[in-house]
Amino acid sequence: MLKFASYMSRELPLIEECLRSHVSQLNPYVLPTAQHVLKAGGKRLRPLLTILCARALGYRANDVYPLACSLELLHSATLLHDDILDGAELRRGQPAAHTLFGATYTILAGDVLLALANTMVAAYGKPSLTACLSDAILRTASGEIEEIARIRDVDLTMDGYLDIIIGKTACLIQSACRAGALLAEAPAALQDAAADYGMNLGVAFQLVDDALDYTSPKEVSGKPKGSDIREGKLTLPLIFYLESLSPAAREGFTKAFKENTVPEVELEAALTAVASGGFADRTRAMASSYLDKARQSLDGFPDSEETELLLAALEGMAKRDK
């Protein structure tokens, strides 16, 4: 992990400068909202994955950064929109953009970031890259819509839950990895391997995120613990918990949950039960199985520093606490 941290320390300033230079050219009425979401920070996982996949597959030119940053701008746009849909007041420990600038400005700023991301990718003149980003936007938005449609749906199955997290999270991470392979003009088999790595990493990322919502304190995660259950989202830890209840207890809780009438004391009890009952840990164990699949996807990658770092990223994902 020391090598990964060292690599990130070299790349992150270049990623941040690329983001800053492109966003600074936006309309001054859009700029404050766009800068706010970017200044909130983040792991910059998606651009880093694009860079690592491109370089692992032999690409050495420095023009990788706009492509990599286009994925981060797309991600930032979804965050602006998501916080409005969820009614979230915090993002990474800072006020959510819509609480400062209003919903209208924030929605339109998100649209501008989507357009900027498309413009940056189109500049490469590679239809395959444009198609990759467009597919990421399509599938991410569809996943978000599906999640909204299934709010408080107590009949949500494991397969339904996985469909949601693949759409809203994993597809964008998959596209970040495929974009790097496309830029490197890697053989089709390696493009697919990069995409498989990203998909499995993305599923694991969201599984860990959903587990942390029940276990990570606000001071660490930057958002209130239990946000998902309060917003009516049936994520995997809650699904596991409901399966553990007696039929009568499950029926009582799910009826109130569906109607959004669960008393606060019962919500707090459920939060405690999910964490203490091992249901968050079971979710993290499932994430580990996807990380194993991601690891196997790299078997055909050339031996390189970047391939080693892609493997190291899996270790970091398994251990993350925010």
Q: What is the pLDDT of residue 39?
A: 87
Q: What is the pLDDT of residue 2?
A: 67
Distance, in Å, from the CA atom of 284 to the CA atom of 147, rounded to the nearest integer, reads 21
Which phi and psi angles does 114 have, rounded to 5°?
Answer: -60, -45
Digitized pLDDT (tens) for each residue of the chain, 322 residues in all: 567 778 888 999 999 999 999 999 999 999 999 999 988 877 899 999 999 999 999 999 999 999 999 999 999 999 999 889 888 888 877 899 999 999 999 999 999 999 999 999 999 999 999 999 999 999 999 999 999 999 999 999 999 999 999 999 999 999 999 999 999 999 999 999 999 999 999 999 999 999 999 998 877 766 778 999 999 999 999 999 999 999 999 999 999 999 999 999 999 999 999 999 999 999 999 999 999 999 999 999 999 999 999 999 998 888 887 7
pTM of the complete model: 0.93
Estimate to the nearest angstrom the gap between the alpha carbon of 144 and the chain centroid: 12
Would you list the domain boundaries of the chain? 2-319
Residue with tokens 């991301």: 117
Estimate to the nearest angstrom the gap between the alpha carbon of 285 and the chain centroid: 19
Q: What is the pLDDT of residue 225?
A: 85
The residues, any chain, with a CB within 8 Å of residue 193's CB and separated by 6 or more, are 181, 297, 298, 299, 300, 301
Residue type, 115: A
SS (H, E, C) the chain: CHHHHHHHHHHHHHHHHHHHHHHCCCCCCCHHHHHHHHHCCCCCHHHHHHHHHHHHCCCCCCCHHHHHHHHHHHHHHHHHHHHHHHCCCEECCEECHHHHHCHHHHHHHHHHHHHHHHHHHHCCCCHHHHHHHHHHHHHHHHHHHHHHHCCCCCCCCHHHHHHHHHHHHHHHHHHHHHHHHHHCCCCHHHHHHHHHHHHHHHHHHHHHHHHHHHHCCHHHHCCCCCHHHHCCCCCHHHHHHHHHCCHHHHHHHHHHHHCCCCCHHHHHHHHHHHHHCCHHHHHHHHHHHHHHHHHHHHHHCCCCHHHHHHHHHHHHHHHCCC
Distance, in Å, from the CA atom of 149 to the CA atom of 141, rounded to the nearest integer, reads 12
Determine the length of the chain: 322
The region, left, alpha or beta by phi > 0 then psi within -120 to 50, assigned to residue 302 is beta
Nearest to 108 by CA among 215, 31, 185, 188: 31
Pairing of strands 90-91, 94-95: antiparallel
Handedness of CA 318, 167, 52, 304 (dihedral sign): positive
Distance, in Å, from the CA atom of 212 to the CA atom of 204, rounded to the nearest integer, reads 12
Residue type, 24: S
CATH superfamily of 2-319: Farnesyl Diphosphate Synthase (1.10.600.10)
